[in-house]
Structure 1
């Protein structure tokens, strides 16, 4: 069965090429070609998953050959990569189908599906590659495709700016990944996963600091792709792209690449406790930053974007905890793929009904007008806040328990951070649901930007059916994957076996504390938003906490102060040094030679008597010099 593995990459690549090369002739069927390509890849992935047994390598062709260096392009089929394949192609297929309706009136729909196929192909290469070089090729491919998709509506300045911001901030993280790969090659002489991971224990024994440096550089790359502190500021701005792009990037694929990278490199991180600690710190800080920022946003998609930042923070916290928790991170990644995709597509359905308006203050009372969308988003909402026996309850709560099980002060700090994050998540998600679907229909008194009145209506079946399927996954995927440690045991050959953590308190106490904080978050949101009229215009005078949340917890300000401004100053100094120093020296020499030539030119006057006098004067000076030397 592995003989068909190459189709996983070939199908979406072929779809992208056909749609891009075919041109306008394919405008009427381009969306169908894009959907069929990804659906076919899902079928191939499912067949490989059902036929899989352990880890298998499929060599496609020799890629790079320089002297003794040989790097081939091969596929690494194991439980971890196949899990990601099913997520990418399965959820990706539903998002493609949803896009048929969402992009129905866009004149560039064929190109949109081409870019979506390209994105899926790059993401599959990232998770299937059997070496750091092929992983990096997919990593950069995802970056290019995301740039094209985020800035798809490039006629909007905000979209073009957001795409550029995402591309540049990801390049910062990519520098870390490149340096990590170069350091790995220097220490092990290879980039193949099997050879690198086999050689790492010896490297750690001889130079533990080197392994820590590799882990931190890999973490930097992961932070860029997954929108973790300090490289999280690009992710909310990426909401300027079409909503299916937000669902594809923020739910199932691109933002999970960092989690995949750390899980794939578990053999490296297990050798550096300091590196694991930094990963945990980044995850804990990020999950709180994402929660706080999401509390004060009025843009429905930006609330969900910061929710993604926060939920990925939970995953980073889990992979940082080491052996036993990697599988928990992947389980939360899978459940998050279902409920967050359902939430994003539901938000897109709301926008579809509200003339693309994203301001929740201008909504309200939509539950009756959009019953299917409301039901889908309710399922996603209950799953993400960890309502008992839904997906988030099984995956996120296990991470909270594992955080407490880290031991000592570290366990208490990370455990409390995860608990607080659960409570804040319940607050801002309840706020979103109330402002969007409940209360007075504030849209009745408003008109859209072009003067049309709002007439909210349910989305067509091509959009609602994928939403319903994702909602079903949001309800039941967590329970299915958690029962009997089904998923973590399946992933054990790739990331290590699961070990029950030693908790400082009974599991039931942690569960009750989590549910109590979640209920408290829901109650505060209801008291703060549900029982008060929602002003259509956000109040200008707010308390410092809300002001901090509106300012994205200083994400852009911190990056500007620590990186952008020093970079600008350094650039200006370099320009000054180049203009006044290097150019000044060159121009000075040129001016000096020009001045001397002007002076010397005066000696060339064309008069023989002047030349004879010069010769005589020179001869006399020479004789005088010889006499001085002779009799000195």
Structure 2
């Protein structure tokens, strides 16, 4: 496990090599460096995971101090890596799924301008994400946190020649920065009150310093929650994620499905002891997740862009994780984080294969009949969609989502349980709506299938991991996270499993009834007055962009215009204006006429004598 630092060193070296090459490397060499560096990181991670399981470190924790980062008047955070069951799980997800996505990207991005630049950005992202999950203190975590935010901005705006992509990148950067500022406030409060940012020390000192519900700790956890909802695209900072689909599809798989958007979940789970001392804030975490998953589900029902549908489904599934955290189902949240990384990465990569095959068409209503032309992409959508819809027994998503629903039931929070069940029903409908419209019915565009190991190996591997096989991977979280409330199980849990499975199947059957064949019923519903209103409202994601433009963007622009005509600025401008006008007046007296100069002297003498006499 002493090789832990290599997991982020390899991607850092890859980033530096690709960056300093300034695009002069060929595609093959760029892919070798970009994919190979993450592959070496994944191989090192696999070896570390094996060692951790075969010969666990003392107390289940391994730390590796590299150097002291800074030392300022007693504040001396170190560059130290912390490996326990939670960070080990994240390490496996980031490097393992990240490697598969990089491999697929080496096929998908062929022929694109900026091929080496793409891998430079994604290597930097992997480096930053690993710092985030391995840092033993909140300052190092925050360093990685800001790094993945920077990479998100760079990758969303990768196709920078299109102004809309630049606007989407800027929107993501600004909205997530709002959450990051709140998170910084949380760090300031924790250091001010406890004198450290070391996570384990914080979890030890907080119960000694604070009583449950202490105002300072409540403010700190609220600020941390602000950072989490920004990075994980939860209410009220969720508006950036759908627009972030402007980036290349592998970016959506890597950053906006499998890794970065789960950083908020990881942050809350890592600082669980602080949130347990502020039960009201922890309850708010669950409410935010429950509301987000339902709202995002309705928004996904009416989208036409294949990637935006998956984006809203990501928002919804992260909502399930927040719901789990809010009811104290810490292990269930991380378990769903892991399985979600498998099946959502699969769906995004498969959507990339479809988009590539359909000549970069993303509107599902302009596809149709693709299942014969793209058998591997179709199989990927069937397996990944079934896992997303939590089809019983055979999919990984069923086991993780069912555990969340059971924990919500065991906690006695019926509102969150009903939100979870409603979200499961909506998920089945919009997922198979996408599949039935894009892959069945009349073929509306020519499509060509992909080929090569970089195409089929990532999809095939993720297909296997999205089945019950993926659910067999058990994150080593015992002793790392607090014990959940719902481990009793029994008949009630089995009844809930049957109910949730029936809801998932009912959603799929309803989607088949509405979207297979002529689709007369759903067309009639959409054409009705309520259907047009709700369709437009949900298509605009409940109008949050409009609301934020009204509350924040327009007032900001108005203030800019007012400050552009600032009276104080004009008043200060009178000074140079007076000097300039005086200069022009004096210059006009330089005529070159002797009579004018003599008259001026005489007039000046009269004025001086008059002043003397009057004085």
TM-score between both structures, scaled by the size of structure 2: 0.90
Structure 2 residue aligned with 1:350, among 346, 349, 354? 354
Distance 2:477 2:561 in 1: 51
Distance 1:370 1:460 in 2: 14
Q: Does the CA contact (< 8 Å) of 1:59 and 1:75 recur in 2?
A: yes
Structure 2 residue aligned with 1:150, among 146, 149, 156? 156
In the other structure, the counterpart of 1:366 is: 370
In the other structure, the counterpart of 2:11 is: 12
Distance 2:45 2:260 in 1: 19
Shift of 1:308: 0.2
Aligned pairs for 1:161-180 within 5 A: 161-180=167-186
Distance 1:46 1:279 in 2: 33
In the other structure, the counterpart of 1:392 is: 397
In the other structure, the counterpart of 1:480 is: 472
Superposed CA RMSD in Å reads 2.7
Structure 2 residue aligned with 1:279, among 269, 279, 285? 285
Kindly indicate whether residue 508 of structure 2 is the aligned counterpart of residue 522 of structure 1: yes
Shift of 1:51: 2.1
Determine helix, strand or coil for the equivalent of 1:232.
coil
1:467-517 per-position Cα deviation (integer Å, ceiling 9, x unaligned): 010010000245314xxxx43xx2133222233267999223322322232
Q: 1:361 to 1:604 in 2, by over 3 A?
A: farther
Q: Does the CA contact (< 8 Å) of 1:291 and 1:425 recur in 2?
A: yes
Q: 1:595 to 1:109 in 2, by over 3 A?
A: closer
Q: Does the CA contact (< 8 Å) of 2:252 and 2:348 recur in 1?
A: yes
Q: Does the CA contact (< 8 Å) of 2:137 and 2:199 recur in 1?
A: yes
In the other structure, the counterpart of 1:313 is: 319
Q: Does the CA contact (< 8 Å) of 1:95 and 1:466 recur in 2?
A: yes
Of 224-233 and 457-466, deviating more is: 457-466
Of 562-571 and 460-469, deviating more is: 562-571
In the other structure, the counterpart of 1:451 is: none
Of 503-512 and 20-29, deviating more is: 503-512
Shift of 1:405: 2.2
1:31-79 per-position Cα deviation (integer Å, ceiling 9, x unaligned): 0111111111111112222223311221111211223221221111111
In the other structure, the counterpart of 1:562 is: 551
Distance 1:517 1:467 in 2: 28
Equivalent pairs counted in the alignment come to: 591
Q: Does the CA contact (< 8 Å) of 2:425 and 2:507 recur in 1?
A: yes
Shift of 1:587: 4.2
In the other structure, the counterpart of 1:450 is: none
Shift of 1:211: 0.9
Structure 2 residue aligned with 1:543, among 532, 537, 542? 532
Q: 1:596 to 1:504 in 2, by over 3 A?
A: farther
Q: Does the CA contact (< 8 Å) of 1:373 and 1:464 recur in 2?
A: no
Q: 1:256 to 1:604 in 2, by over 3 A?
A: farther
Kindly indicate whether residue 612 of structure 2 is the aligned counterpart of residue 615 of structure 1: yes
Aligned pairs for 1:104-119 within 5 A: 104-119=110-125
Determine helix, strand or coil for the equivalent of 1:356.
coil
Determine helix, strand or coil for the equivalent of 1:365.
coil
Shift of 1:606: 5.2
1:70-101 per-position Cα deviation (integer Å, ceiling 9, x unaligned): 12211111111111011000001111111121
Structure 1 residue aligned with 2:338, among 317, 334, 339? 334
Structure 2 gap ranges (5+): 590-599
In the other structure, the counterpart of 2:461 is: 469
Determine helix, strand or coil for the equivalent of 1:491.
coil
Distance 1:207 1:342 in 2: 42
Q: 1:608 to 1:182 in 2, by over 3 A?
A: same
Kindly indicate whether residue 440 of structure 2 is the aligned counterpart of residue 438 of structure 1: yes
Distance 1:377 1:313 in 2: 22
Distance 1:83 1:162 in 2: 31
1:576-612 per-position Cα deviation (integer Å, ceiling 9, x unaligned): 5xx11x224434677789999999x9x9975445433
Of 203-212 and 87-96, deviating more is: 203-212
Determine helix, strand or coil for the equivalent of 2:70.
strand
Distance 1:458 1:22 in 2: 29
Of 562-571 and 63-72, deviating more is: 562-571
Q: Does the CA contact (< 8 Å) of 2:342 and 2:465 recur in 1?
A: yes
Q: 1:469 to 1:609 in 2, by over 3 A?
A: closer
Q: 1:595 to 1:56 in 2, by over 3 A?
A: same
Q: 1:215 to 1:505 in 2, by over 3 A?
A: farther
Shift of 1:350: 0.8
1:119-163 per-position Cα deviation (integer Å, ceiling 9, x unaligned): 111100111111111111101110111111111111222222211
Q: 1:80 to 1:503 in 2, by over 3 A?
A: closer
Distance 2:602 2:355 in 1: 86
In the other structure, the counterpart of 1:621 is: none
TM-score between both structures, scaled by the size of structure 1: 0.88
Shift of 1:287: 0.3
Q: 1:617 to 1:120 in 2, by over 3 A?
A: same
Distance 2:208 2:504 in 1: 46
Q: Does the CA contact (< 8 Å) of 2:298 and 2:426 recur in 1?
A: yes
Q: 1:201 to 1:480 in 2, by over 3 A?
A: same
Q: 1:587 to 1:18 in 2, by over 3 A?
A: closer
